[in-house]
């Protein structure tokens, strides 16, 4: 029976980067669960096992796999529950975006109030991306358009994501944990 492996793109990217830090190898599909990394003369350097999420050196037995470093941001399944409706998202960034948009839709003016909140060196929403961070240049890397006229900061841990959404609920006059919550 054939098996098919699914892997988050962030994990696959991490595996490829760990197996080929110089970005000089070619990738060949061996089967539904394995990729071969090879030189341009077809010399196998390593194998990526998608099912096990491991790198296997090309000349080593399968029993000695090398584990790739963890992806920089966790991806998975996160739920946003608001007013009885559940929305599935697959990253913290998407969870934050969906939550902020849902609150603004339910309670217009929430983003305006939230844009006045600044924790130490950053805001979570602003009408201009350069207003998100005190450090120049961070907005170029860590901001994304939320909706027309609004930008949000995307570099947040799970704890920060929850804290920002809880603060947004306060601004919207919505009960955190009752009317609005997350799976975090």
CATH classification at residue 146: 1.20.1380.10
Listed residue (106, 89, 108) closest to 98, CA to CA: 89
Counting the structural domains of the chain, the total is 2
Q: Which two tokens stand for residue 180?
A: 């609005």
Whole-angstrom Cα distance, residue 25 to residue 127? 43
Same domain, 130 and 169: yes
Question: What residues make up the domain containing 98?
Answer: 92-182
What is the token pair recorded at 49?
């096992």
Rg (CA), the chain: 21
Please state, as a whole number, how many other Cβ atoms lie within 10 Å of the Cβ of residue 88: 12
- The pTM for the full model equals 0.59
Same domain, 134 and 57: no
Question: One digit per residue, pLDDT tens: the chain, 184 residues?
Answer: 445 556 787 788 888 888 888 888 888 888 888 888 888 777 888 998 887 888 888 764 433 344 444 433 455 788 999 888 898 988 899 999 999 999 999 999 999 999 999 888 899 999 999 999 998 889 888 999 999 999 999 988 899 999 999 999 999 999 999 999 998 8
Q: Check if the beta carbon of residue 182 is closer than 8 Å to that of residue 99.
A: yes
């Amino acid at each position: 029976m054939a098996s098919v492996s699914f892997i988050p793109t962030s994990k696959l990217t991490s595996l490829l980067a760990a197996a080929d830090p110089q970005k000089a190898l070619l990738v060949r599909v061996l089967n539904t669960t394995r990729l071969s990394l090879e030189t341009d003369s077809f010399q196998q350097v390593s194998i990526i096992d998608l099912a096990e999420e491991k790198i296997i050196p090309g000349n080593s037995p399968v029993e000695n796999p090398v584990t790739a470093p963890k992806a920089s941001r966790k991806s998975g399944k996160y739920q946003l529950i608001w007013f009885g409706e559940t929305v599935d998202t697959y990253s913290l960034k998407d969870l934050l975006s969906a939550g902020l948009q849902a609150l603004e839709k339910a309670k217009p003016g929430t983003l305006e109030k939230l844009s006045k909140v600044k924790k130490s060196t950053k805001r979570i929403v602003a009408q201009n991306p350069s207003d998100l961070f005190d450090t120049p240049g961070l907005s170029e890397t860590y901001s994304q358009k939320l909706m027309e006229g609004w930008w949000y900061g995307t570099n947040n841990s799970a704890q920060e994501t929850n804290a920002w959404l809880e603060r947004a609920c306060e601004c919207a006059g919505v009960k955190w944990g009752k009317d609005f919550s997350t799976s975090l």
